[in-house]
Amino acid sequence: MNKGISLRRIWLLAMVGLTLGLQGCALPTRLPAVPPQLTGHAEIPGMPDVRFVAGGDMTEFRKIAFRGIQHEREWRAQQGETGPLPPAFFLAISGGGDDGAFGAGLLNGWTAAGTRPEFKLVTGISTGALIAPFAFLGPKYDATLREIFTTTSPKDVLELRGKLAALFDDALADNRPLGRSIRKYVNEGLLREIAAEYAKGRFLAIGTVDLDARRGIIWDMGRIASYGGPKALDLFVKIMVASAAIPGAFPPTLIDVEADGKPYQEMHVDGGTMSQVFVYPVSVHLKEESEAAGFARERKLYVIRNARLDPEWAQVERRTMSIAQRAISSLIYSQGLGDLYRIYATAHRDGVDFNLAFIPPTFNAPHREEFDTGYMRKLYDVGYAMAAKGFPWVKAPPGFRGGAGCWQRNGSRGVEEQRVKPPARR
């Protein structure tokens, strides 16, 4: 959730503590982190095979993917369905803080347009992790998405800690209100619904970052849901909270694991620390590997980037925090574009039809604070209206120069669409 309490406030509170020179305050404690030689062996007690390392050994990912195909085939056989596999639709939802209202509105407007498909795979990171479970379950949860992203206010997300929290605690604010808000909607009934869809071969994945090991973790949320019970529910909610836990602003989520029979704790934070949006690992050649395994199908990918993609101009004050804040926001902007370029190139390689939506440059509503309800409602309405009219999905990331192409402005909807000739195959 890349937008949160301002860096200026974190920095100022830390400086207050340093100026006072206070020492000896008790710091938060935890179980030992998993030793580096055991990170590849750490498992959730009682729930093995519920995650894999992004960019690591893809053996586990391939096992998860082929298990899903087997589930899908078994379910289709039970329904009496024969013949080739139907088209698979993928949905990737990015981070963006309260800009997630755009994605929520877009999904609901897509339902209103009557063209929203059922997704084979849904991924979410940061604020996208708060949308993903409801997007995965389909239009039945449109009202829930609307409620979350048009009525949430700061008190539903965080509680500010004392002035010395930045120095002597693990975060400036407490995100327990966010956990309570999630539990209003995520219960054992919802997990049973997700588990039922998982049994059909559908996937729901959420990304976090293991801060100790400095590695991205992709969680197979459908498999977690399939375990059922309070323990699975608790882990499910923890992962959603962790994926939106901005380091420094919100406390990390400690997740209990075991390695070689010993207990440890992993420290998980905002998945946006390493990636703004993800689909599947680039090292997996989806088309090639699936055809080698004996099945082929049409695939379409939809990416919702909960951010503007035009470089927003601003006159930066000649002050330390103004410069730092602008630099960090520029880093996030560039990281988001880089993620889109990587996803586009991977999709083109694997024959996956790429489609992108993002906040239009024409949207400029006042943004007075993080989780500004008025701002979120306006942004939700923009996303809804764009999709309800029949959204012109962009076929390549802005600025992509993969081949001869040009920008065209769609005046009727006030968005830009790029028509690009795909790169020539080598």
| Confidence (pLDDT) at 222 | 97
| Confidence (pLDDT) at 90 | 98
| Confidence (pLDDT) at 144 | 97
Convert the chain into a string of H (helix), E (strand) and C (coil): CCCCCCHHHHHHHHHHHHHHCCCCCCCCCCCCCCCHHHHHHCEECCECCCEEECCCCCHHHHHHHHHHHHHHHHHHHHCCCCCCCCCEEEEEECCCHHHHHHHHHHHHHHHHHCCCCCCCEEEEECHHHHHHHHHHHCHHHHHHHHHHHHHCCHHHCCEECCCCHHHHCCECEECHHHHHHHHHHCCHHHHHHHHHHHCCCCEEEEEEEECCCCEEEEEEHHHHHHHCHHHHHHHHHHHHHHHCCCEECECCEEEEEEECCEEEEEEEEEHHHCCCCCCCCCCCCHHHHHHHCCCCCCEEEEEEEEEECCCCCCCCCCCHHHHHHHHHHHHHHHHHHHHHHHHHHHHHHCCCEEEEEEECCCCCCCCCCCCCHHHHHHHHHHHHHHHHCCCCCECCCCCCCCCCEEEEEECCCCEEEEEECCCCCC
How many CB atoms are located within 10 Å of the residue 317 CB? 11
Per run of 10 residues, the mean pLDDT along the chain (length 426 residues) is 45 45 62 94 94 83 86 92 93 95 98 97 96 98 97 83 66 82 96 97 96 94 97 97 85 94 95 91 90 89 95 84 79 87 96 96 89 95 96 88 38 36 35
| Confidence (pLDDT) at 18 | 43
| pTM exceeds 0.85 | yes
| Confidence (pLDDT) at 168 | 67
| Confidence (pLDDT) at 171 | 65
| Confidence (pLDDT) at 383 | 97
